[in-house]
Structure 1
Amino acid sequence: MILLLNPCLMALTLGSLQNILYVALGLGMVIFFHELGHFAVAKWCDVHVEQFSIGFGPAILAKKWGETVYALRAIPFGGYVQMLGQDDADPSQLTSEEIAADPRSFSSKPVWQRMAIISAGVIMNLITGLIFCAIAFAMGVESVPAIVGSVEPGHPAWVAGLERGDKIEKMGGRTIRSFEEVSISAALSTGPIDVEGRRRDDTPFKTVVVPDTSGNRPSIGVSFSSSLRLMKFLNGDPTVMPGTPAASAEPPLQGLDLITHVDDVEVKSFQDLEDRLVSKGGEAVTLTVRRPPVNAAGVPDLDAQGEEIKSRVGPGFFRTLGLSMDTGPITAVRLGSPAQKAGFLAKDKIVKVGDRAIGTALNPLRLPDELSQMAGKEIEITVARQKDGGGNQEVVLKVTPESSPGWLDAPLRAGDALAIPAIGVAIQVVPVVLSVDPGSPAEAAGIKPGQRILKLALLPHPDEGSGPDAKTVEVDLGSDKEKNVNNWAFAFVQLQRYPLRKATLTIKEDSETRTIDLEPVADKEWPYPRRGFAMYPARTTQQAKSFSEAFKMGYANMEKSVLNIYMTLRSLFTGHLSVFELHGPLGIARAAYEISKLGISSLLIFLGFLSANLAVINFLPIPMLDGGHMVFLAYEAITRKKPNEKVQIAATYAGMAFVLGLMLFVICLDLFVHKF
């Protein structure tokens, strides 16, 4: 019996020695128990086992006890049990009459015994996977809760009405316990998904999300929630963006500080913190933080109450260049929103709010905040709408905005639209200048209405240090009106993210292009909702209260893992999931290392998934793997005769070529596509 691990299991190349040893030990246990299953049942059926091997290649350790050689080999990506009459390197043994004459050979045994031997490895993987998961849940498994941190404007979840702080409890009828399961459920979907959960005020919601299938895998456009604990660098400094209000807090904030109050008002979630900071606008706030004590070993005790610190954090303001751009059409209308009730349609273009023309009298980037400030008042918005016979007509729509602050669900990617949450639409912002503010950096640089912005570049500032963000940021805005027309809002977000940097614009006017440098200025009348905090992801612990509950939780986890693996294979075969989403040894090396850093319980969950993965992969009907052997045995059971020797040999070598080809393919993906 040969056990070949999925190439993604070749994960022992990165990280500290201790973590590598943990992963290596865990991987070795999974292989060992798989082969032990084959070995134990073979012995029970009185089959002569010639060799029990962990790994492939030259032997590091080998010892013969009784009739069996036990070996540990150099390449730890699988293993095998070699029996008399069953050798994948020599498939002819299975049909040899001479070997079959030996009563202790594998091929001499009844079909049901050979099936039991073949399936024993997979069954052992399922059993040990269940044990791994049960122990993990008994210890307590940390995960990121299924709470929506932000919703990408115009994407499926946004259209379906999901909001910041929503707790997702079910997707497609399946219980959701972590944010990872949200991502997996979306990626493995084949159509609309029923989503159920609870809002921040604990009211239930139910909606239908239609995943976006334009990328390599289906997605719905949500991100996980942050916690209230500040991240820290290795030197202990908090992870804040240089030049932001958080970087100038007095007294200075520290990494691992836990924010508990804003101006003596308690905040219980990151969304509470966001809302509170938005409500303060352009005012300074006083944060109350809990600073964890450090024990004798120098390790912070995050569970301790800690010292209470009050720190003053100033306001932040949008940095602008003085440019007002044109708008493109509405890309999406949110379900149940004021805009939907008022009759707004996708492809409508907003041209006026009241009597103010967009782009000249009203900057489209200000629409999210302007309309939120009009909450509760019926206003008229004029849109340009395509007529059935061609051309456009202006339609005046009456809508009552809600009090929903803008820019919290900001464009995260170059193709994202700008959300106007107060009415529930997402619009394109075209990088074509309609007006220039008097006295602005853009006017001083000679930018004129009608010019098109082709590129924004932000060069690193010396005060930013040498961290991972200290690199040039470029936003390609396209070379013509048909390319990337919805990118200016994303470029504007980058101006806010790097507040110390100057902007370099590449501009097109007629057939000429030129590059100019500008110094963005803070608009003291336009508060920016972000103040520069970087937080750890929110975490929750799933822990069983009894041993029986641990096994129930472990069983549910294994069941879901097996189902997800089958759904992944289905999505790959149907094309819903691109093969370019696969990762090989280098990509999984990074993932395995990160998992090992989370602790023993997380590693045990990983080993449980690994066991489920091996059970499914090795039982696929691929010659040379356990599933391929079962196909031949099923044929023999039905026809009462052994498979043709030439067919079996050809199939075995074809299976070997497929597995080796898969390994080479995913390694190439790591090197040339994912660029590990």
Structure 2
Amino acid sequence: MEILLLSLIPQLGTILNIATVAIGLGLVIFFHELGHFAVAKWCDVNVERFSIGFGPVIWSRKWGETEYALSLIPFGGYVKMLGQDDVDPGQMSSEEVAEDPRAYTAKSVPQRMAIISAGVIMNVITGTMFFVLAFRSGVDTTAAVVGAVQVGMPAWQAGIETGDRITEMNGRRVDDFNDILRGTALSQGAISIEGVHPDGETFDVVVKPDTSGTRRRIGISPGLSLEVLPTPDPKKFPFAFPGTPAADAGFEPGDVITRVDDVELESYAELQEILWNRRDEALDVQVRRSVEGGESTTSDTITLEPAQFRTLGLRMDIGKIEAVRRGSPADEAGIKAGDRIATVDELRVGQDLDPMQLPDYFGERAGQPVNLMLIREVEGSAPQDVEVTLEPKDRGSWTEPPLFPESPISVPSIGVAYHMIPTVFSVDEGSPAAKAGIRARDTIESIDFVRTDPGMVDAFQDDVFTVKIGENNWAYAFWLMQNEAAGRDVRVSLKSADSEETRTVELTPQKADDWYLPTSRGLRLFTEGERRQADNLASAVTMGWTHAVNSMTDIYLTLRNLIFGDLSVKELHGPIRIATVAFEVAKSGLSQFLLFLGFLSINLAVLNFLPIPVLDGGHMVFLIWEGIARRKPSEKVLIAATYAGMAFVLGLMLLVIWLDLFVSRS
């Protein structure tokens, strides 16, 4: 009996769809069983049944001595030979059956090894063939380019930046972004990463992944392209955040930005530099637009107005430095995690200088000496004042925004990240917060982003989206107010310094004077993709075989990390999750279909050769024992091992179904 344990491979969900699951599963299992069947016939074994699926037979027909069947449970298949039956393992030690010269058990150990391994070998061959055909046709992938870098995470601390292209991880070549995700999740210990910065300079860093979640992470997301998000229905899924300049500028889904004013663009990194340097200017953006169903293109110029920060008039207190980027000006100046910035160029942070504007302050002083006074806690003694002088790099502010809950604020130009304390330091006179009665020393507990226009569609499904501020979430809530929630009003829950009672106030954010966002101004851009296509058949064979070897390696690394606890079982997927993702990629195209078939083939080959009774690998273990000991295992051993293996496999299947139904994944 062959069991296809699809659930063991976390990355399965990127290429499935319902049609390919149904067709591909049957085809891959057919090839697997065909391998067993063909070699068994070649060895003159009586094959009693050839089944796709297992469990109750729902259709069968007999040709010659063999019954060909379709069975109810589609996650596997089997070839039933005389003298070999997983359901009745006693046959393997039956003397009556053994006397039949065409019985499986009557064949020599090498012949039986050939029969057992034939399915795996067939799947490796056909899997490689599917990969070869896919790469000859051309495969669309996500480029191995870094987009957002999560502030404070290992990649950020190591100095990896937006626009970097990663070329190698732990000596293994990186072809697309999925290789980065797999290389991180399936690693152990620190990771050696090599790559190229946007300016062409190479880098080599060592990153120790974060292990606080269900899998190892370094904190990066895919790079962005110059293509406006090609959403099929902008009314249901907007390509620009409501309330931002891009929402009403005239962009259309699928537009490709080719030029800004007189500057021709080739990458998102170039666009980002312009947005930072000219953040307070209106920009003439030239786009290439598909018309007539994509058969031709036209050019259009769109004016994109600057985006002012939306504020409540609150100046929050600054917290401690959370992280320092290696090799940054801050690192070279001796700044440490745990320090607190007290003054900058003799300006008191909080009183004279809003902590939220420190990224802009340093970014505007690139190449100039800036003096900082730090407060450093010393164990066993009073805090110390530490003075440092550094020169910020020419890196734009807010190019590493707090995109995730608990993210600190990054100052890219000096390489520090700090949290904001949810305590109000001061309130700007005449601001929305002042009019609502918020005062210094009040503590913000939560912020509700409230949809005021029932017809507005933004990034949130609910009319009210709540962010619990806690100790470290002010920066995240503030960034939502500039982008995803730019079209919403705000409801703040807070406690006064002289009262334990929580009160709620409603505010409408106002635009800040002379403070501009150096970002895409609300425009949502598509991830950067690449097409991997072999120039000739020889190249396709090389790419296909490499992909097959990497896939096999990834499966063994997945199992290793599950055993050693570096990968949580919560990352496993079962049939329900697979079907859900299948809907999302139903229009995958021919090359993705071929990759899917290759993926299934390699998984079936590797997983069925694990040393688990009822799987091919378990049978091979018994044959190795027989070859060494010169005798078959006893009937009791065979029966006990078979039932134990069957219980393990069925238990695993129940586990992943339970995970699909009751365990949420981020």
Deviations 1:470-500 (A, max 9, x none): 322211122xxxxxx2211111011112112
Amino acid at match of 2:572: L
Is 1:434 the counterpart of 2:425 in the alignment?
A: yes
Query: How far apart, CA to CA, are the structure 1 residues paired with 2:157 and 2:358?
Result: 19
Report the equivalent of 1:475: 467
Q: How far does residue 92 in structure 1 lie from its aligned partner after superposition? A: 0.5
- State the AA in 2 paired with 1:489: A
Mapped partners of 1:7, 1:275: distance in 2: 43
- Distance 1:10-1:403 versus aligned 2 partners, 3 A rule: closer
**1:300 aligned to 2:289?**
no
Residue of structure 2 in register with 1:517 after alignment: 506
Letter matched to residue 329 of structure 1: K
CA apart distance, 1:344: 0.4
Secondary structure of the residue that 1:668 maps to in structure 2? helix
- The equivalences for 1:170-249 within 5 A come to 170-235=168-233, 239-249=239-249
- The CA distance in 1 between the partners of 2:593 and 2:440, in whole Å, is 58
Q: 1:147 corresponds to which residue? A: 145
1:40 CA drift (Å):
0.7
Name the count of aligned residue pairs: 659
2:15 touches 2:585 (CA, 8 Å); kept in 1? Answer: no
Q: Letter of the 2:482 partner, please give it.
A: Q
Query: For residue 406 of structure 1, what is the aligned residue in structure 2?
Result: 397
Residue 184 of structure 1 deviates from its aligned partner by: 0.7
Q: Cα distance, 1:21 vs. partner?
A: 2.8
TM-score (norm 2): 0.96
Specify the alignment match of 1:482 in structure 2.
none
- Per the normalisation by structure 1, the TM-score is 0.94
**What is the DSSP-based 3-state SS (H/G/I as helix, E as strand, rest coil) of the residue aligned with 1:443?**
helix
Work out whether 1:370 is the aligned partner of 2:370. no
Counterpart-to-counterpart distance in 2, 1:589 and 1:519 = 43
Name the structure 1 match of 2:311: 320
Contact 1:4 1:625 in 2 (8 A): no
**Partners of 1:13 and 1:20 within 8 A in 2:** no
Counterpart in the other structure of 1:291:
289
Partners of 2:588 and 2:264 in 1: how far apart? 30
In structure 2, the partner of 1:353 is: 344
What's the counterpart of residue 481 of structure 1? Answer: none
Check whether the contact 1:258–1:291 (CA below 8 A) recurs between aligned residues. yes
- Mapped partners of 2:646, 2:327: distance in 1: 55
Matched position secondary structure for 2:280: coil
Query: Separation in 2 of the partners of 1:661 and 1:315?
Result: 57
In the superposition, relative to structure 1, how do residues 162 and 13 fare at CA in structure 2: closer, same or farther (>3 Å)? closer
1:286–1:672 CA distance, 2 compared to 1 (3 A): same
CA contact (8 A) 1:264 1:288 kept: no
Q: Which residue of 1 aligns with 2:473?
A: 487
1:637, CA displacement in angstroms?
1.1
Mapped contact 2:15–2:596 kept (Cα < 8 A): no
Could you tell me how far 1:62 is from its partner in structure 2? 1.6
Identity of aligned residues (%): 49
2:444 partner amino acid? I
Contact 1:11–1:586 (8 Å) recurs in 2: no
CA distance in 2, matches of 1:532, 1:630: 59
Partner of 2:44: 46
Shift of 1:446: 1.2
Whole-angstrom CA distance in 2 between matches of 1:427 and 1:2: 54
Could you tell me how far apart the structure 2 residues matched to 1:15 and 1:178 are? 14
Cα distance in 2 for partners of 1:224, 1:2 equals 37
The one-letter amino acid paired with 2:516 is: P
Q: SS in structure 2 opposite 1:46?
A: coil
5+ residue gaps, structure 2, are none
Which one is further off, 201-210 or 237-246? 237-246
SS where residue 291 of structure 2 aligns?
A: coil
- Equivalent residue for 2:601? 611
Counterpart CA distance in 1 for 2:455 and 2:627 is 70
Q: Is the 8 A contact 1:618 1:625 kept in 2?
A: yes
User: Which of 614, 619, 637 matches 1:629?
Assistant: 619
**Equivalent of residue 551 in structure 1, options 541, 547, 562:** 541
Instruction: Please report the RMSD computed on the Cα atoms of aligned residues, expressed in angstroms.
Output: 2.1
Partners of 1:69 and 1:198 lie apart in 2 by: 59
* 2:644 aligned counterpart, secondary structure: helix
Deviations 1:168-199 (A, max 9, x none): 00011100000010011111111111111111
User: Would you say the 8 A contact 2:18–2:579 is kept in 1?
Assistant: no
The answer (yes or no) to whether the contact 1:125–1:611 under 8 Å persists in 2 is: yes
Shift of residue 579 of structure 1? 1.0
Deviation at 1:463, TM superposition (A): 5.9
Contact 1:460/1:470 (<8 A) preserved: no
Distance in 1 of aligned mates of 2:132 and 2:11: 24
Match of 1:454 among 445, 449, 462: 445
Are residue 638 (structure 1) and residue 625 (structure 2) matched?
no
Q: C-alpha separation between the residues in 2 aligned to 1:4 and 1:416? A: 40
Contact kept in structure 2, 1:12 and 1:589, CA below 8 Å = no
TM-fit CA distance, 1:7: 4.1
- Corresponding residue for 2:335? 344
Q: How far did 1:3 drift?
A: 3.6
Change (3 A) 1:15 1:409: closer
- Is 1:59 matched up with 2:57? yes
Q: Secondary structure at the match of 1:51?
A: strand
| Equivalent position to 2:638, from 639, 648, 667 | 648
